[in-house]
């Protein structure tokens, strides 16, 4: 390996998401094609043994070296992908195998920088590498990450986050965001001009517009009381009406303060925030599946005016309804 070549070690283990493993090497390989220079990356896949690993897609991948061998190398970038399981109610839960967590901690100690891909952030968290830091992960497991590791400032919107406090640690959002994160690493190492050329080869933005909140769907709480379920149903049935905390409290036969406490405790947000999120979901569906005007969508989703709808989209999704429709409109 040339002194100008950076060693990237990608962890490999049973059940790992395939794109998390193969995406970053594809980005790094295109750098050499674009520049024609040797100062690129050497990517190796490391696993507990040299036997084939079965990914979540069922594709078997052969590691290049073992975790132990990797620990003897001078690692520039340690990339940590993740894995999940899905329960009977289709809820996604990130996994953190103790053996993999041990090696994450061991290998991170000798790496210049560490980057997690998608739910790989849960492995970094379990290894204690994200305490006191701001981090992201796939939107579907962000709630889990925040609940299991309260010392982490979890932000589920950014495509990736770079935290330079102490050791440089990057965390990336879901699946294809591994390409965005890898492009950002290329830009840091070789400049944005070169990274832009690689992005063009991938038919990608160098910097993706907005965050992953545009792609997320509402995450149902793992468990809620019958009372809160009744209130949520009432909200859904009356979204086009002028809903206030006082109205909801009267419906639930509790004080306004108690209602706010129930929402904050069980849903992690205020009643007003929940109502706005529910209205946004209705609007998103209409934007994706109909040709309704913004005036019509604002009315049917409870925002009443296009201006209110636009402000809500900018605040929650960092985009406009028109931009959202252009990106996600279903065509037949």
pLDDT tens digits for range 84-123:
999 888 889 999 999 999 999 999 999 999 999 999 999 9
Q: What pLDDT score was predicted for residue 26?
A: 94
Quote the pTM value.
Answer: 0.69
Q: What pLDDT score was predicted for residue 2?
A: 46
Distance CA 298, CA 300 (A): 6
Residue with the bigger pLDDT between 214 and 282: it is 282
With the CA atoms of 151, 173, 88 and 221 taken in that order, what torsion angle do they form, in degrees rounded to the nearest 10? Answer: 50
SS3 25: helix
Q: What pLDDT score was predicted for residue 1?
A: 46
**pLDDT-derived band of residue 270, with 50, 70 and 90 as boundaries?**
very high
Active site residue 178: no
C-alpha separations of 121 from 43, 57, 83, 146, 165 in Å: 20, 20, 10, 11, 16
Q: Among 118, 129, 183, 259, which one carries the catalytic annotation?
A: 118
Structural domains in the chain, CATH included, are 6-214 (3.40.50.880), 226-328 (1.10.10.60)
Distance CA 86, CA 32 (A): 38
Are the C-beta atoms of residues 140 and 219 closer than 8 Å to each other? Answer: yes
Are the C-beta atoms of residues 21 and 110 closer than 8 Å to each other? Answer: no
Query: Residue for token digits 């050497």?
Result: 42
Most confident of 35-49, 224-238, 243-257: 243-257
Percent of the chain at pLDDT above 70? 91
Which region among 90-94, 112-116, 265-269, 313-317 has the lowest average model confidence (pLDDT)?
265-269
Are the C-beta atoms of residues 112 and 75 closer than 8 Å to each other? Answer: yes
CB atoms closer than 10 angstroms to residue 301: 25
Percent of the chain at pLDDT above 90? 60
């Amino acid at each position: 390996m040339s002194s100008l070549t950076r060693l990237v070690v990608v962890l490999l283990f049973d059940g790992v998401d395939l794109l998390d493993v193969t995406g970053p090497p594809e980005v790094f390989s295109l750098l050499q094609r674009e520049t024609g220079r040797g100062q690129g990356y050497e990517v190796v896949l490391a696993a507990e043994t040299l036997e084939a690993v079965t990914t979540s897609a069922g594709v078997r991948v052969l590691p290049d070296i073992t975790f132990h061998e990797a620990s003897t190398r001078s690692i520039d970038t340690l990339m940590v992908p993740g894995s999940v399981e899905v329960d009977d109610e289709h809820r996604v839960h990130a996994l953190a195998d103790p053996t993999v967590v041990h090696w994450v901690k061991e290998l991170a100690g000798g790496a210049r920088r560490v980057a997690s891909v998608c739910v790989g952030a849960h492995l970094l968290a379990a290894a204690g590498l994200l305490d006191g830091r701001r981090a992201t992960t796939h939107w579907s497991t962000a709630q889990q990450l925040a609940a299991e590791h309260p010392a982490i400032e979890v932000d589920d919107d950014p495509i990736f986050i770079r935290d330079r406090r102490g050791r440089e640690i990057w965390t990336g959002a879901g699946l294809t965001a591994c390409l965005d994160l890898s492009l950002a690493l290329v830009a840091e190492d070789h400049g944005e001009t070169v990274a832009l050329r690689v992005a063009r080869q991938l038919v990608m933005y160098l910097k993706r517009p907005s965050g992953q909140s545009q792609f997320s769907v509402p995450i149902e709480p793992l468990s809620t009381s019958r009372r809160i379920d009744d209130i949520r149903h009432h909200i859904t049935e009356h979204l086009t009406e002028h809903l206030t905390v006082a109205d909801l409290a009267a419906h639930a036969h509790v004080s306004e303060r108690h209602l706010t406490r129930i929402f904050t405790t069980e849903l992690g947000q205020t009643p007003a925030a929940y109502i706005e999120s529910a209205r946004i979901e209705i609007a998103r569906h209409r934007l994706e599946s109909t040709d309704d005007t913004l005036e019509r969508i604002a009315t049917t989703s409870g925002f009443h005016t296009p201006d209110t709808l636009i402000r809500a989209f900018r605040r929650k999704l960092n985009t406009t309804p028109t931009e959202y429709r252009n990106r996600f409109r279903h065509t037949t």
